[in-house]
Structures are given as C-alpha cells and as structure tokens.
C-alpha cells in the first residue's frame, strides 16, 4: 500500500492525546463515608473491572477513528503491478472512432455521442498539467499535436461522422508519433470504438512496450442492416433515348431475412425507376431496373433504399456519360468504301470522317474512338508510330488489308502492335468454320442460335502466322484456327485484324449478315468505359483519358458549396487525378476545367462499415501478442473513477472514511449504552 499524500501521516502524532487522557484521570474524587462497607466491597471490585474494559474499548475506537481519518487525508492506494511511475507527467492520446458505424444507437444515444462523452471523462481523470492528443479516422494534421485540457474538450465537441476508416495498426502507429516529443512522460493511448471486425488489421499490432494501451469498447443495440453493394449497367454503351438496364445489388448484413426492401433510382434528381428486393440473411441479391429517355451528356445517378434505423449506407452514387455521337475515322488507301459508309452513315449516332492516307492529321487521332485502315498499300513509319501510341492510350484500330501489293508496311505495323503477322496471300476459296459467339461483338445479337450458321466465304485472303505471346481472341476463324477476323489487345486499346478487304471480289464478308453487327458493335465497344463510381479512401487516384491544360488553366472538383483543386499527373496514356483525402463525403462531384465540365465523378463509402459484426475480446487481444492491454467496457455513469482506479491502483480513502465513521459510532454506542448496563448490575447487587 502507498500514500498519495504521505505528509498527512504526521497527524498520527495526535493519537497521543486520547492516550494521555486515558492514562491520567483528571477528575477530583469526593470522599463518601459509610457506616459499613462490607456489603459494597464486592460491587466496587466488579464495577472497577467493567469500567476499565469500557475505557479501553472507547480508547481503541477513538484511536482507530482518528487513525483512519488521518489515513483518508493521506489518500492510500494499492498500486498496480505496472504502476511504477503513476504520478509523473503524462501524455495521453485518445482516438475517437467517427466512422459511419458509430451512428448506431444504444440507450446512451448514438455511439459517437457516447464516445465523445467518454473521451471527456477520460481526460477529466488526469491532472490539469497533463497533455492530450485527440485523433479521429480523418488523421487531420491539426490534431497531430498535444493539447491542454480545455483545448481538448473543445476539440472533442467538433468531431463529426466521417467516411474515413482506419485499422488498429494505423491508429496506434499514428498515436505513438505524437509521443516522440515527450520522451520522459508516461504515455497512454486510448481507442474508443465499437470495434467492428474491419478495424482489426490482417497482421499483429506492433505497439511500443513503453506505451500503455487501453481499448474502450462501446456496444450498440443489435439491429439489422441492408446496404447497397454495387451497381452496373447491362450494356456499357449509352445512347440518347435508348432503354437502359441498371443492375442493383443489395447486401443483407444481418442474420434475419429482409423483406421487400424498396429501391429508387434517380437521375439528375428525377426519379426514373423503382423496385423492391427480398434478401436472405448474410447474402446478396440483385434487381434489374429499366428506364429510358436520357439526353446526351453527363448523368448524375443516385440509388436510395429505405432501411431504418441504420441509414448511413442507404444512398449510393454513380455517374455516366450518354454520348451524343461516336466520331469514326476511316483512312482509305484508295476510294471510300461503300460498305463502311453504308453501315455507319445510316445511323446518325456515328459521325464518319473519310481521309486518304496522305492527308492524316496525326494530332486529331485521339478524338476518334475507332480508326479503320481500309486497304492501305503503304504505311509510313510516322503513321506506324502514331497508331502505336493511339492504341496504347485506349484507341481501337481495325485493319482491312490490301492484297495487290507486298505486305511490308502492314508487317511493320503489326510488329509494332504485337499481333500475328502476314505470311502469304492465299488464292483459294475457303469458308469460315468457327464463330466465337461469346465474344462481346455478338452480345445480344442472336435471340436464338441456329444449329448450322451460314458463315462467310473467302475467295482470296491474307494468311497470318500465329505468333506466341499475343493476346489474340478469335471472332471468326478459318479451319485450323487460322484468322479470318480476330481481336488483339495492346495497352488500353484494341486491334481488330481482318484477313480480307471489303470488296466482293475477295469475299462475301461485306454482304454477309454478320458484317453489320460486327462493325456496329466494334464501334460501340471502342468507347472507353469510365468507372460508374469510386470508393473513398481506396480509389485515391482517378484515371481519365488524356487531358490537356494550358498554363493558366486548373482543374476543380465541385459539389454544392464544396470545392477542391486536385493534383493532376500526366503519363503516356492517360491523366491521373489524385484526390487523396480531399474528398471526405459521398456524392457526385463535377470535374471542371475552368468552368467547362469535363466529367462527373461519384464517390461512395468503401462498404465494410455496413457489416455490423463486432470483434470478440479474445480476437482483439490476439492482435497484441506480448503486449498487455486493458480492454474496458464502460458501465453506466462516468468513466472518470474507473480510469483513476486504473491509473492510481485501488484507492482506499473512501474506505478509510467509512471505517473512521464506523469507529466513531462504536465510541458513541459504548458511551451511551454500556454505562446503562453497568448501572443495572449495581442495583441488582
């Protein structure tokens, strides 16, 4: 046992006062004469013996009452085993989990409100000279410093719910950073959280052995929760006025079935579709919602479900662009091809530009999602280099060979694009024997697949050698898996390679029924897909097609009154927008170049917070091998006393007060009642 104020122990000298009073009886005796004392002698002896016992008991109770009163002022305590320097200056780092799951409720209100209250109670258990750090999931730089008690209290009041999410390793590592400037202080970290399973890191937590780790677990009421897991379109191509099919996947994060969860889809703040889903426990389920009537341009989408009481994950944001048209470039070695013009010019959605091989504007290649080489006899080195860069950046290139001259130019181009290479021109009628109906160009083309398909026939064609390490994916094949029409990938782009030109002398491909869907779908598939949405704190880099900015132009991300300037980094094939921690709230954000809209970027919560499953005590302790931690579950009332008890050990001053009062009561009892019993005894004699 130790004393917090041992100086008060000198007051024990006051115990000498009742002892002195007991040893010296200062009362004056009065003589009383009796004629015969023979009958009083035995009574006198008996009374004296009882009086001495009474005096000794009263003396003992007085001494004990006074002693325990002195001990109470000396504040005795039983120290903890690790409490060698309990009363030196202290630095305390308190982490408040402000993730979305802290919006759950219990009898104290929301978990975040309770966490803020508990943080204040913890701070109040320390002295005014101790220093504090407040930390949240946001890891704000302004909190990477030590605060006094009053500053800490004000900072706690400012804590709000955030989409950020950290694990225990990141939290404790960040807390320990603030201790570097206080090497001689006693260091303690508190983590106040509901301890969802996602807060636990994959590996063990490496905590400094000199730092005391105390985890404060808050418990929420058990409640079901449905969240929006993901969304996607059945078709990645969006045309004005077309019917769209949006697939919504919901997740049931509880152990109970969720019945008839309503779903609403809004575009540009107008409701477009509704639906409902019933989801089995701990599973996902999808619903396909249809709508139409979209206009060209960027679309801001929002999905809303109704799921009380947990509502932080009931909204999901997405965005996409409806293309007004697709610009196509056809580079002709001779005259324009009537079949290509017939396919594309019949639909106003395609904007076709025909140029000759000698009048190509290389700088404008990036404006065309699809470039078609139509029977080029010669291909210059400059064009080869430009087409290689064009494909690497995400462009689609379709090649129809010229069969009247040598293939050196085509061979050089295909070597640069790392596809199969031309070998020889074959003058023999050959029929296509294989069709890859799983290829994206045939998606949705056939309602019913006939057993025997009528496939194209070639009279004269270019045979390609099959190279190793290519990304070839066949569309139509000759016997022996020889290429008739194949698909290759390079970088972010695609190469479509045909074995025949588009003229009736070499094949019936241009007149065949598969020609139109192949040409139509390849043009649509040339549009680069943009992600419908991004995840906060995970997708910190957003990649977009190559952007060009002048010296006086900047990019801005804007939503309502919020505005930020993201970091732009250019690479060979694309532009990268670094949002880092600038975006903290879910929603749709406009990406602007000056005041010109470039894109709409959507950000959503990463998702783990929706699963309200909590880690057990043993699971948490297992993450701290070789390090003793205090796992605290607060009871009703203030934590101040509990924290003081942990800091100081077991405090005994209250017990001393109780014992002091108890012995004073014993003294009073002895004085009042013990005397009456003696009087009765004398009368009986």
Hunting for tokens 């005796």 — which residue is that? Answer: 29
Please report how the helices 515-525 and 338-345 are oriented relative to each other, as an axis angle in degrees rounded to 10: 60
What confidence category does residue 680 fall into, taking pLDDT thresholds of 50, 70 and 90? Answer: very low
CATH fold for the domain made of 226-323? Immunoglobulin-like (2.60.40)
Between 414 and 222, name the one with better pLDDT.
414
Distant-in-sequence contacts of 381-385, Cβ < 8 A, 24+ apart? 381/412, 383/357, 383/413, 384/412, 384/413, 384/416, 385/416
Q: How far apart are CA 464 and CA 477, in angstroms?
A: 11
Q: How far is CA 598 from CA 301, 576, 601, in A?
A: 17, 13, 10
**Spatial separation of the C-alpha atoms in residues 325 and 344, rounded to whole Å:** 11
Residue 610 has a pLDDT of 87
Domain regions of the chain by residue span: 2-79+652-684, 90-222+613-648, 226-323, 326-525, 534-604
Task: Look at 208-212, 281-285, 505-509 and tell me which has the smallest mean pLDDT.
Answer: 208-212
Tell me what the mean pLDDT of segment 464-487 comes to: 91
Strand partners, 488: 495
Q: Which residue shows structure tokens 């204040």? A: 120
CA distance 529 to 676: 102
**CATH, range 326-525:** 3.40.50.880
Longest CA–CA separation in the chain, Å? 164
320 within 8 A of 532, measured Cβ to Cβ: yes
pLDDT digits (tens, 9 = 90+) for 333-346: 989 999 999 999 88
Distance separating alpha carbons of residues 510 and 288, to the nearest angstrom: 36
pLDDT digits (tens, 9 = 90+) for 549-586: 877 788 999 998 899 988 888 877 678 898 877 888 89
Question: How far from 329 is each of 7, 180, 399, 523, CA to CA, in Å?
Answer: 95, 62, 12, 11
Query: Does the domain spanning 534-604 belong to CATH 2.60.40?
Result: yes
Helices and strands per DSSP (H, E), number in the chain = 13, 37
Counting Cα atoms < 13 Å in the Cβ hemisphere of 514 gives 21
Tell me the pLDDT tens digit for each residue of 659-672.
889 988 988 888 88
Region 175-202: what's the mean pLDDT? 90
Segment 265-289 shows an average pLDDT of 94
**Which tokens is 156 given?**
């706690």
pLDDT at position 35 over 80: no
Q: How is residue 523 written in tokens?
A: 């043009």
Nearest to 475 by CA among 504, 451, 461, 455: 455
pLDDT in tens, 61-116: 888 888 888 888 887 767 665 555 545 678 999 999 999 889 888 888 899 999 99
Residues 6+ apart with CB under 8 A from 583: 536, 557, 564, 589, 603
Q: What is the pLDDT of residue 172?
A: 93
**Cross-strand bridge partners of residue 497:** 399, 486
> CB–CB of 134/155 below 8 Å?
yes
Percentage of the chain exceeding pLDDT 70:
91
Q: Which helix (H) or strand (E) holds 298?
A: strand 297-305
247 pLDDT band, cuts 50/70/90, is very high
What is the pLDDT at residue 50?
A: 64
CA 456, CA 476: separation in Å to the nearest integer?
Answer: 9
- Do domains 226-323 and 326-525 share one topology? The answer is no
Note whether 191 and 172 are within 8 A (CB).
yes
- Report how far residue 623's alpha carbon sits from residue 631's, in angstroms, rounded to the nearest whole number: 13
User: Which residues make beta-bridge pairs with 189?
Assistant: 93, 213
Assign residue 109 a region: left if phi > 0, alpha if psi is -120 to 50, beta otherwise?
left
Find how far residue 414's CA is from the centre of its chain.
45
90-222+613-648 in CATH: which number?
3.40.50.410
Confirm if 599 and 591 have CB atoms less than 8 A apart: yes
Average pLDDT over residues 193-204: 91
pLDDT, tens digit, for every residue of 604-654? 988 788 888 899 999 999 999 988 898 988 887 888 877 877 776 667 778
Secondary structure (3-state) at 449: coil
Q: Looking at residue 676, what is its pLDDT? A: 46
Rounded Cα distance, 18 and 441, in Å = 107
> pLDDT per residue over 437-471, tens digit each?
888 888 877 766 666 778 999 999 999 998 888 89
Helix axes 640-648, 111-124, angle to 10 degrees: 40
Distance CA 214, CA 630 (A): 5
| Burial status of residue 540 (CB atoms within 10 A of its CB: 0-12, 13-18, 19 or more) | middle
d(CA 322, CA 332): 30
pTM of the model: 0.74
């Amino acid at each position: 046992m130790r004393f917090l104020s041992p100086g008060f122990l000198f007051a024990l000298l006051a115990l000498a006062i009742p002892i002195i009073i007991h040893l010296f009886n200062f009362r004056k005796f009065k003589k009383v004469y009796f004629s015969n004392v023979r009958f009083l002698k035995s009574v006198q002896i008996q009374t004296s013996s009882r009086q001495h016992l009474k005096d000794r008991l009263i003396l003992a109770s007085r001494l004990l009452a006074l002693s325990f009163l002195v001990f109470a002022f000396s504040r005795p305590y039983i120290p903890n085993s690790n409490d060698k320097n309990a009363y030196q200056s202290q630095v305390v780092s308190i982490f408040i989990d402000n993730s979305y799951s802290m919006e759950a409720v219990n009898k104290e209100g929301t978990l975040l409100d309770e966490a803020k209250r508990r943080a204040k109670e913890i701070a109040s258990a320390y002295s005014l000279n101790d220093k504090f750090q407040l930390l949240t999931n946001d890891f704000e730089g302004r909190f990477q410093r030590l605060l006094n008690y009053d500053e800490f209290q004000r900072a706690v009041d400012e804590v709000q719910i955030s989409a950020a999410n950290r694990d225990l390793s990141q939290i404790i590592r960040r807390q320990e950073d603030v201790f570097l400037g206080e090497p001689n202080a006693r260091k303690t970290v508190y983590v106040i959280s509901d301890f969802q399973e996602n807060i636990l890191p994959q590996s063990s937590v490496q905590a400094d052995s000199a730092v005391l780790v105390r985890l404060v677990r808050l418990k929420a009421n058990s409640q079901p929760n449905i969240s929006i897991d993901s969304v996607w379109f059945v078709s990645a191509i969006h045309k004005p006025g077309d019917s769209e099919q949006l697939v919504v996947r919901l997740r049931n994060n509880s152990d109970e079935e969720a019945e008839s969860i309503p779903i609403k889809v809004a575009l540009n703040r107008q409701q477009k579709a509704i639906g409902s889903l019933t989801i089995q426990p701990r599973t996902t389920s999808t619903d396909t919602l249809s709508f139409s009537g979209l206009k060209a341009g960027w679309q801001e989408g929002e999905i809303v479900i109704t799921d009380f009481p947990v509502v932080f994950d009931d909204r999901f944001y997405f965005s996409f662009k409806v293309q007004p048209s697709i610009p196509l470039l056809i580079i002709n070695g001779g005259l324009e091809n009537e079949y290509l013009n017939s396919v594309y010019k019949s639909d106003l959605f395609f904007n076709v530009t025909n140029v000759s091989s000698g009048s190509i504007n290389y700088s404008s290649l990036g404006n065309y999602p699809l470039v078609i080489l139509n029977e080029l006899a010669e291909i210059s080195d400059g064009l080869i280099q430009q087409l290689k860069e064009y494909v690497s950046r995400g462009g689609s290139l379709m090649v129809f060979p010229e069969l009247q001259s040598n293939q050196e130019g085509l061979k050089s181009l295909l070597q640069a694009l790392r596809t199969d290479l031309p070998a020889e021109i074959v003058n023999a009628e050959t029929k296509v024997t294989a069709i890859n109906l799983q290829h994206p160009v045939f998606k949705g083309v056939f309602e019913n697949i006939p057993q025997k398909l009528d496939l194209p026939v070639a009279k004269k064609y270019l045979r390609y050698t099959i190279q190793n390490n290519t990304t070839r994916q066949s569309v139509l094949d000759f016997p022996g898996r020889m290429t008739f029409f194949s698909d290759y990938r390079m970088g972010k782009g695609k190469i479509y390679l045909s074995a025949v030109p588009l003229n009736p002398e070499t094949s019936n491909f241009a007149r065949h029924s598969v020609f139109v869907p192949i040409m139509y779908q390849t043009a649509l598939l040339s549009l680069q897909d943009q992600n419908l949405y991004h995840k906060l704190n995970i997708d910190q880099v957003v990649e977009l097609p190559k952007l060009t900015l002048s010296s006086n132009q900047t990019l801005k991300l804007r939503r309502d009154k919020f505005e930020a300037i993201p970091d732009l980094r250019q690479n060979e094939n694309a532009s990268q927008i670094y949002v880092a921690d600038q975006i903290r709230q879910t929603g749709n954000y406009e990406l602007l170049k000056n005041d010109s809209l470039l894109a709409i970027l959507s950000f959503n919560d990463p998702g783990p917070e929706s699963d309200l499953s909590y880690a057990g005590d043993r699971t948490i302790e297992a993450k701290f091998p070789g390090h003793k931690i205090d796992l605290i579950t607060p009871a009703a009332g203030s934590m101040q006393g509990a924290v003081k008890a942990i800091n100081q050990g077991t405090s005994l001053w209250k017990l001393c007060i109780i014992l002091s009062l108890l012995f004073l009561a014993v003294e009073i009892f002895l004085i009042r009642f013990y005397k009456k019993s003696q009087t009765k005894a004398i009368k009986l004699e």
